[in-house]
Structure 1
Amino acid sequence: MNKSTFWLMLASIVGLLSSCMSSGEDTTQRYLDNENKVIQFGKDNNLTLTKDASSGAYYNLTTINATGRSPKATELVKVYYTYRKLDGTLLDSTTSVPVSYPYLTYSSLLNVPVSLLKEGEKGVFIFPETSQYTEPTMLTIQLIATRTEVEQVSEFVQTKYAGLTVNSTSSGLQYVLTKVTPTGDLVKAGQTITVSYTGNLLYPTKKRDNNGFYIYNGQFDTGSFSFVLGQGSTVAGFEEAVSKLKLGDKGSFVFPSSLGYGQAGSYDSSKGVYTIPPYSPLNFEIEVTAVK
């Protein structure tokens, strides 16, 4: 998948041009001509196309799952897709790993087909125009799954911590201690704590490594830093996680977005991407290396 195209689709730059077309006659006629091309494409390929009134897209569901679950806003949806021009030119596609993103939390071309699919369903969605292309383009897409935050955390914990003792708190934090120092006290508010850590989303994303090769993982940050516990200098889930440790302890912690970056997520404006998408539960591996 081309990295820039991916984020154009998932970070609100791509939308339906039909929603913001000028009233100029040339533009209107071009759009009508494109609609005719879409309709003819459907006839030539034996596709019975239905027009979605809200988006202007034409679609045909190729696999139906009438009892499947429909996505709800902010749920994490996972999809496979191929994006092409009608002449077959490939514009973008997923590979063996599906794209995952929080549904309806920002503008995305993928929101259109996802709104019309249930889990397990596949379809062809054709757009007469988009803000990126003034000619018809086509998404062939399958909705793999849709999950609430609670479900994401539950599935992650069951897989990652299988067979281990999982601790839970009333706030929603869940954790496993992976190294326990036999003596000493838990860190306290007001102390300066130094930690090494790695932060991960609960699902893999596509990115380039230091050598420029594409990799799939959920890691968004790693390193070490010092902070005064209890002063709100980190997100609430991270502070609560650290408070469960002693000097030398290590732990793996999972918490909901309400203890993390919430509905805003963490957006890198210099790159035009979400480091942490909205409504994302997080996993941190943390070790306390110094206490003052």
Structure 2
Amino acid sequence: MKSKQFSILITLLLGVGMASCMKNLDNAGLVEAQRNDQEIKNYLLANKLQDSVTSTLTGLYHIITPANSGAKQTKGGEELEFTYVLSYIDPSNTSRAVVVDTANRTKSVYIPFLSGVVIPGLQEGLSLMKEGQRGRLYIPSNIGFGNDTRDGKMPAYSAIIFDVQLKRSRTEMQQIDDFVRIKKLSNPILVASGIPADTNKVRVYKTTQGTGEKITAGKTVTVAFTANMFRATTAFSKSDSLTFKLGSGQYITGFDKGVEALSVGDKAWLVFPSALGYGSQGSINQSGTYVVAPYTPLAYEITVKSVK
């Protein structure tokens, strides 16, 4: 099952049909983008913002404050936490912006910071920001929502404004540390994965100590499990009785190596980074929808039933 977080962002910030719109931008779309550029300039002039704004080669205009922040820069592959308000520039009165979406004015949204997750103009704007900064992004339709009207809330080919506050850009290890703290897990067993880098270890947190046989490589194990992304409200996979051979390569490394650290009767959390899960590719179902987004750390809740 998809992460609730991921599906919300696809709906709110990418838009229905946006991918095809961007790939097939016709002459009319280019004309609209040029019109948007003039609308943005008119808006900035009318509101005396022309000396505060910076533009990029893509047509994005932005004001980011404070300008000289020494905070952490956003980075691809991390998780971004931010709030936003979406508006569009009224084409009949370009000195005025019309608010479209305030649902996340104070409520944070979270995205894996990857190409294609949000519209190109918002992605570019976020890439220029640091933690704690506020950005006002003026985005023409060719790097915005194209001809998408946001369910009739704004005209097609609108020049839009995103008011964004970037709260955090978190590495996978920071996400893991936060998850462990929230779940109040402690005293991990660190299991080497065979993949280089000190971070590529499985953290095994036993919540119930079993009294049965110790599991070893090559054994056939039966477990019950739920597989979780940190921000999802439901498990993306689960089983009450899964039987498999350790080390067979049938399952992801973090799951396989984590189970090997357990004994029959153990209940535990296996927590590990995406390098031991679905990596930079993620996991996609037959309809082309992400089940697990790229660069997503995972947490498996395990009960070991038997080994032979």
Which TM-score applies when normalising by structure 2? 0.77
Indicate how the Cα distance of structure 1 residues 157 and 5 shifts in structure 2: closer, same or farther if over 3 A, else same: closer
Deviations 1:139-174 (A, max 9, x none): 111111112222322333344345x32221233111
Shift of 1:28: 3.8
Indicate how the Cα distance of structure 1 residues 155 and 175 shifts in structure 2: closer, same or farther if over 3 A, else same: same
1:280 aligns with 2:290: no
Which moves more between the two structures, 103-112 or 244-253? 103-112
- Cα distance in 2 for partners of 1:140, 1:167 equals 44
Which moves more between the two structures, 234-243 or 27-36? 27-36
Indicate how the Cα distance of structure 1 residues 200 and 105 shifts in structure 2: closer, same or farther if over 3 A, else same: farther
Contact kept, 8 Å, 1:80 with 1:99, in 2: the verdict is: yes
User: 1:111 — aligned with what?
Assistant: 123
User: 1:102 — aligned with what?
Assistant: 112
Contact kept, 8 Å, 1:101 with 1:277, in 2: the verdict is: no
- Cα distance in 2 for partners of 1:4, 1:95 equals 19
1:246 aligns with 2:236: no
Indicate how the Cα distance of structure 1 residues 96 and 196 shifts in structure 2: closer, same or farther if over 3 A, else same: farther
User: 1:47 — aligned with what?
Assistant: 49
Gaps of 5+ in 2: 91-97, 149-155, 194-200
Among 117, 124, 127, the residue aligned to 2:139: 127
User: 1:36 — aligned with what?
Assistant: 38
User: 1:213 — aligned with what?
Assistant: none
Describe how 1:184-195 pairs up with structure 2 within 5 A: 184-195=212-223
What amino acid is the match of 2:305? T
User: 1:167 — aligned with what?
Assistant: 189
Determine helix, strand or coil for the equivalent of 2:118.
Answer: coil
Indicate how the Cα distance of structure 1 residues 254 and 65 shifts in structure 2: closer, same or farther if over 3 A, else same: farther
- Cα distance in 2 for partners of 1:120, 1:195 equals 44
What amino acid is the match of 1:200? N
Count of paired positions: 275
Indicate how the Cα distance of structure 1 residues 108 and 54 shifts in structure 2: closer, same or farther if over 3 A, else same: farther
Name whichever structure is richer in strand by fraction.
1
What amino acid is the match of 1:144? K
Contact kept, 8 Å, 1:260 with 1:282, in 2: the verdict is: yes
Contact kept, 8 Å, 1:11 with 1:106, in 2: the verdict is: no
Indicate how the Cα distance of structure 1 residues 187 and 95 shifts in structure 2: closer, same or farther if over 3 A, else same: farther
Gaps of 5+ in 1: 206-216
User: 1:265 — aligned with what?
Assistant: 282
Contact kept, 8 Å, 1:13 with 1:108, in 2: the verdict is: no
Contact kept, 8 Å, 2:74 with 2:128, in 1: the verdict is: no
Indicate how the Cα distance of structure 1 residues 232 and 3 shifts in structure 2: closer, same or farther if over 3 A, else same: closer
What amino acid is the match of 1:165? N
- Cα distance in 2 for partners of 1:62, 1:151 equals 25
Deviations 1:105-140 (A, max 9, x none): 545323122111110011111212133451212211
- Cα distance in 2 for partners of 1:147, 1:229 equals 32
